[in-house]
Amino acid sequence: MSIGMSAAWKAKQPKQKRCDRCELYTPKPDDKCIHCSELNESQVAQLKAQHQETLQDNSTFGKYLLFGSVIIGLLLLLSFL
């Protein structure tokens, strides 16, 4: 059930492309970007800066996740000894 459902869910997702101006993913970058079409240049720059911060947050979170899984792996290993 879950495989069929996730396939249907994926089929429903619009194909996203990256906007050249704000570097965010948008359903129709060729038409009007949903993120930056209403913004002026300085607002777009601000948006890009915020986006960069988000990316950095995500990579920090990824490191914590990796660290956590290493600890769990070590604990599992110790429990077998």
Residue 51 class from Cβ within 10 Å (0-12 exposed, 13-18 middle, 19+ buried)? middle
Q: Which of 21, 25, 39, 51 binds Zn ion (CB under 5 A)?
A: 21
How many residues touch Zn ion under the rule CB under 5 A: the total is: 6
Compute how many other C-beta atoms are within 10 angstroms of the C-beta atom of residue 68: 10
Three-class SS of residue 25? Answer: strand
- Residue whose CB is less far from Zn ion, 22 or 75: 22
**Which among 6-14, 18-26, 51-59, 68-76 is the span making contact with Zn ion, rule CB under 5 A?**
18-26
Q: How far is the CB of 65 from Zn ion (least distance, A)?
A: 29
Alpha-carbon gap, residue 12 to 18, rounded angstroms: 19
State the residues that interact with Zn ion by CB under 5 A: 19, 21-22, 33, 35-36
